[in-house]
Amino acid sequence: MTKAYDALIIGAGHNGLVCAFYLAKAGLKVRIVEARDVVGGAAVTEEFAPGFRNSVASYTVSLLQPKVIADMKLADHGYRVIERPISNFLPQEDGGYLKLGGGLERTQAEFRKFSARDAEVLPQYYDALENVAELLRDLALRVPPNVGEGMRTLIDGARQGRRFATLSLEQQRDVLDLFTKSARTMLDAWFESEAVKAAFGFDAVVGNYASPDTPGSAYVLLHHVFGEVNGKKGAWGHSVGGMGKITEIMAKVCRDHGVEISLESPVAKVLVDGGKAVGVKLVGGEEIAAARVIANVGPKLLYERMMDAGDLPADYERRIKGFKAGSGTFRMNVALSELPKFTCLPEPGEHHQSGIILAPTLDYMDRAFLDAKRDGWSKEPIVEMLIPSTVDDSLAPEGCHVASLFCQQFAPELPGGRDWDDEEEAAADCIIDTVEKHAPGFRASIVGQTRLSPKGLERKFGLVGGDIMHGNMSLDQLWSARPVLGNGGYRGPVKGLYMCGAGTHPGGGVTGAPGHNAAQVILRDRGLFAPRWR
């Protein structure tokens, strides 16, 4: 083996970088091994056509924890996020449109075009959502109580449940609704306009291979609203330089603190000796010793492909086999000679700087999922388009633009033994046709493109099943049960093995929270600081 490290992290995605920073800052000798030739995991910026650059997978900012931004001093190194002037723009089938965001009064005025009642109840809805979102913000940087640790489980559970106990009865009912109900059931209780329900319901299917009618989909909606940008809660924005700029800065900060980062170093196997993780073996044959191994890859990839079944507890292999992964996501980037001209709003404007949602109703979203379940992918997919070059001209040549197309629903595995490599091009054409219906001339403006099916996302980024969340965000795979009950506190089932990726609490998105929390657990286990309850 090569020289030993205090901590060896598998994967230089943003959570791995965050975890490495905190460990190195505390004095640990840290090395990261990354399979690709660039840091960042799924948060990377790449040139995909001559002169055109864009975020390849992850594409927008909100959930990155303010504490992580401050602790790593990202702003001192060029981190900058430009807020969307409005949140979302939804063209409608009747030729109209709905704009969401830009302030309460502006949104209410938009809602009145569809329903005076919906405009009237909007403040109450926002309050209900914010009360629960605040609960999530409070929990995001807390280590979940780990079942099976006796008194510490009870004390941690009581401490984290204290915030819930202070909520009013009505607020507790809102928590129950958002954690257990379908997005449609929850939204039907608030609004009557289908356009309004679609505007909010879209978040329930982002990275979620499910229908808005699926129980628990309301939580996925909530997961996407507990972030903030530049101090504004619930806001979303564009990272100047793309998402890769964020992880480039994180890598620089890590290196400044002594972290070694090895690129093109894919891990073949986690080495276990005497029931303890002692290092890793790379695909090239090199073995690296470490006092602790920290996985910033999904649970499926770690336990099913990087570990021998005999090194895991007998029941654990079955539990991980039952861990659900597969987000139904198809990701495209397109280089454009001009801005899309939407039939309902053709001139350039703030809507081009927002999230453009091509999914006008919850019924449309439900059909997309059912079609994908039956046929493998929907002929009328859900498409969100962002055009970051409208606020960041470094991404495209003058007068041109780049657009991110985030698309649902596409089966992680095609039925009938079909292969995504054979159908990726046809699916991409279907996505472009969907945009073309709302913005004639879009196809003709495309001068370059990339496409990543679920299989492509797995091949490029190690996202098993193309799951951008490292595992479904369902009630049985959240908080203390993410990824498995009894291992929800960032410790693996083998001594010396830890997890710091999105397959742990609080889940997917560019948050930095799993990396932050895992580092705290590792440092506590090493005795560098004592838990507060002591």
Distance CA 275, CA 252 (A): 35
Model pLDDT, residue 528: 61
Q: What is the pLDDT of residues 107-161, one digit of tens each?
A: 999 999 999 999 999 999 999 999 998 988 989 999 999 887 777 777 777 787 7
Tokens for 430? 């279907």
Model pLDDT, residue 531: 45
Distance CA 434, CA 408 (A): 12
Tokens for 390? 């409208």
**Residues, the chain:** 534
Contact assessment for residue 86 and residue 78, using Cβ atoms and an 8 Å cutoff: no
Q: Is the pLDDT of residue 534 over 60?
A: no
Tokens for 2? 């090569």
Q: What is the pLDDT of residues 9-52, one digit of tens each?
A: 999 999 999 999 999 999 999 999 999 999 999 999 999 999 99
Measured at the CA of 507, the angle between CA 534 and CA 275, to 5 degrees, comes to: 60
Share of residues in the chain with pLDDT > 90 (%): 87
Distance CA 325, CA 323 (A): 7
Strand locations in 70-224, DSSP E?
A: 81-83, 88-91, 97-100
In this prediction, residues 416-420 reach a mean pLDDT of 96
Contact assessment for residue 253 and residue 12, using Cβ atoms and an 8 Å cutoff: no
In this prediction, residues 358-375 reach a mean pLDDT of 98
Greatest CA separation for the chain: 69
**Domain 7-44+60-81+240-323+470-525 superfamily per CATH:** FAD/NAD(P)-binding domain (3.50.50.60)
Q: Is the pLDDT of residue 250 over 50?
A: yes
Model pLDDT, residue 529: 55
Which secondary structure element, helix H or strand E, spans residue 497, and what is its range? Answer: strand 497-499
Distance CA 197, CA 188 (A): 8
| Better-predicted residue by pLDDT, 2 or 175 | 175
The residue to which tokens 């001192």 are assigned: 76
Tokens for 273? 């000796």
Q: Is the pLDDT of residue 448 over 60?
A: yes
* Averaged pLDDT of the chain: 95
Q: Is the pLDDT of residue 189 over 80?
A: yes
How much is the pTM? Answer: 0.95
Model pLDDT, residue 151: 75
Model pLDDT, residue 29: 98
| Domain spanning 326-464: CATH 3.90.660 | yes
Contact assessment for residue 478 and residue 223, using Cβ atoms and an 8 Å cutoff: no
Q: Is the pLDDT of residue 530 over 60?
A: no
Model pLDDT, residue 166: 85
Closest by CA position to 214, among listed 417, 408, 430: 408
Q: What is the pLDDT of residues 276-319, one digit of tens each?
A: 999 999 999 999 999 999 999 999 999 999 999 899 998 999 99
Which secondary structure element, helix H or strand E, spans residue 516, and what is its range? Answer: helix 513-525
Model pLDDT, residue 1: 61
Three-class SS state of 44: coil
Distance CA 250, CA 363 (A): 41
Contact assessment for residue 278 and residue 290, using Cβ atoms and an 8 Å cutoff: yes
Distance CA 291, CA 9 (A): 11
Q: Is the pLDDT of residue 533 over 80?
A: no
Distance CA 6, CA 334 (A): 43
Q: What is the pLDDT of residues 478-512, one digit of tens each?
A: 999 999 999 999 999 999 999 999 999 999 999 99
337 burial via Cβ count (<10 Å: 0-12, 13-18, 19+): middle
Model pLDDT, residue 402: 98
| Better-predicted residue by pLDDT, 526 or 463 | 463
Check whether the bond before 409 is cis (ω within 30° of 0).
yes
Closest by CA position to 234, among listed 104, 403, 337: 104
Contact assessment for residue 531 and residue 152, using Cβ atoms and an 8 Å cutoff: yes
Q: At what angle do helices 454-461 and 420-438 cross, to 10 degrees?
A: 110
pLDDT band at 223 (very low <50, low <70, confident <90, very high): confident
User: Which amino acid, one-letter code, is at 298?
Assistant: G
Contact assessment for residue 357 and residue 384, using Cβ atoms and an 8 Å cutoff: yes
Domain ranges in the chain are 7-44+60-81+240-323+470-525, 112-235, 326-464
Share of residues in the chain with pLDDT > 70 (%): 98
Distance CA 122, CA 104 (A): 8
Check whether the bond before 313 is cis (ω within 30° of 0).
no
